[in-house]
Amino acid sequence: MVSRVIPVDPFDLVIFGGTGDLAQRKILPALFRRFCAGQWPDDAQIIGAARAEYTPDAFREVVAESLRSHAPSQSRNADALNTFLQRVDYVPLDALSDTAWGRLAAKLTDDRVRAFYFSVGPQLFGQLAERIKHHDLATPKTRIVVEKPFGHDLESARALNAILAEHFSEGQIYRIDHYLGKETVQNLMAVRFGNMLFEPLWNSQYVDHIQITVAESVGIDGREEYYDRAGAMRDMMQNHLMQLLCLIAMEPPAKFDPDAVRDEKLKVIRALDPVEPHHIVRGQFDAGPSGAGYRDTVGNPRSTTESYVALRAHVSNWRWAGTPFYLRTGKRLIERSSVINVMFKDAPHSIFGADAGRHANVLSIRLQPNEGITLKVTIKEPGPGGMRLVDVPLDMSFAEALGSENQDPPDAYERLVMDVIRGNQTLFMRGDEVEAAWAWTDPIIAGWQARGDVPKPYDSGSTGPGDAELLMKRDGRRWQGINP
């Protein structure tokens, strides 16, 4: 199956922070892959803008080097690489100063789609929005793309929303959560709303509980200062896991359009109960073969920041009353794996007798690695010897199902950056969604601070603190393996 490429309108894309890690490792390689796929029109260019005093040629060399590392197969095509680099330009610019904006303006074309990607530290988001407006760079076709973190708490998120809203309409603001650009996440909506099979069972009558795991094997090297102020709750739970929960729990939107989808997600967040303290486990990794312990890594021997959090959430509405959602995420865990497990209830009565054991269906949606969906079903164990039951997976790995040209599934940023150019906000967070997520998160963090809560240590390379197992065990349940 060959994927369809829908060309986009001519555009100018300015990447503030174009020399930084995210731009070089993710955004520019994503744009290059889309270029190679033929999605770019002739009239399109990228302008890097950052503090470094590069000439355009020196910047192109830096970009070429990054593309060789992060889009290796495409960059082996020297013609494609050179043609792409001709579309790349650079302006040295300090977001905190009013000089150089005229030079940037001179490189832009009035009637094209114009996108400004804020790939700089969050303290600069407001400044950039103000200066774009002040220097008259915002046209009706202008969009701004705002990276995470979007605020540190409800108050700062509200303040940032207010600054952005002074200069841009909500329809021009693209708040990125790159999880929403992952193929499997979009597939989750296709599976739920494109099939008759699942939706009738998608409720508390048939679903026992839901598990969402985002496990990382890496630590926090290179981001120590930011992470120690944020922790797993702010860095992962408030945004990525919350978004996954929304897509699993939301009602079918009337259509696949930005506000219809985001209205339904917002209703889920607003229906979340406050989380009881005994339904949360925080952890902090100890030293292990893969490196130093958390406190040594951040250089703060008394840090009480969590690198792991597991919790039990409840969506209080008709569909989900009584069905818990167990969410967990952490660093330095045994494996890198993001998976959603929808755990169906046992069959109400076993006609095969007590010896047949208990069997329940599990729908596993794997985000990484090996994106795909598995449905565990119960069948008869082959062979004579009575009616013995066994669970087997109906496995659909997307790479296998879609053919060899999809072995290298598109990176989330490919989809998201092109959606910005197309003007499609469906996979971006709306301001009220972000605020609602903080409104749910803030009391949890405030509770830890008020109680002087200290995270439980866990071994690097393990599945996390033992208390997270207890969280499930108390409810008569257990986590599925981190990599099922």
Give the CA distances from residue 31 to residues 89, 250, 367, 445, 459, in Å, rounded to whole numbers and listed in that order. 14, 31, 22, 37, 39
* Three-state SS at 155: helix
Residue 20 sits in the site that holds ligand NAD (CB under 6 A): yes
- Give the nearest residue (CB) to ligand NAD: 20
* Count of beta carbons in the 10 Å neighbourhood of residue 238: 27
Measured over all CA atoms, what is the biggest interatomic distance in the chain, rounded to whole angstroms? 82
For ligand NAD (CB under 6 A), the number of binding residues is 23
Which member of 70, 178, 209, 240 is catalytic?
240
Contact criterion met (CB below 8 Å) for 84 and 71: no
Query: Does 100 engage in binding with ligand NAD (CB under 6 A)?
Result: no
Options 75-83, 132-140, 142-150, 165-173: segment touching ligand NAD (CB under 6 A)? 142-150
Token output for 216: 């990382």
- Cα–Cα separations (whole angstroms), residue 315 to 81, 266, 271, 322: 49, 12, 5, 8
Choices 19-27, 301-309, 388-396, 473-481 (CB under 6 A): range interacting with ligand NAD: 19-27
* 15 lies in the site for ligand NAD, by CB under 6 A: no
Assess 273 for contact with ligand NAD (CB under 6 A). Answer: no
Decide: 247 and 265 in contact? Cβ < 8 Å: yes
233 in helix, strand or coil? Answer: helix
Query: Rule CB under 6 A: is residue 340 a binding residue for ligand NAD?
Result: no
22 binds ligand NAD (CB under 6 A): yes
Q: How far apart are CA 12 and CA 370, in angstroms?
A: 34
Q: How far is the CB of 153 from ligand NAD (least distance, A)?
A: 16
177 binds ligand NAD (CB under 6 A): no
In 9-77, where does DSSP find H-type helix?
21-22, 28-36, 56-70, 72-75
Least Å from the CB of residue 92 to ligand NAD: 9
Quick check: 208 binds ligand NAD (CB under 6 A)? no
Question: 16 vs 35, which CB is nearer to ligand NAD?
Answer: 16
Q: Which amino acid is located at 444 in the chain?
A: I
What is the closest distance, in whole angstroms, from the C-beta atom of residue 286 to ligand NAD in the complex? Answer: 25
Instruction: Note if 134 is an active site residue.
Output: no
What binding mask, one character per residue, do residues 31-70 give for ligand NAD by CB under 6 A, x or -?
-------------------xxx------------------
Which of 94, 153, 224, 459 is close enough to bind ligand NAD by CB under 6 A?
94
Q: How far is the CB of 19 from ligand NAD (least distance, A)?
A: 4
Query: One-letter amino acid identity for 284?
Result: Q
Distance CA(143)–CA(288), nearest Å, equals 45
Decide: 359 and 346 in contact? Cβ < 8 Å.
yes
Which residues are at the interface with ligand NAD (CB under 6 A)?
Answer: 16-23, 50-52, 93-96, 119-122, 124, 147-149
Cite the active site residues. 240
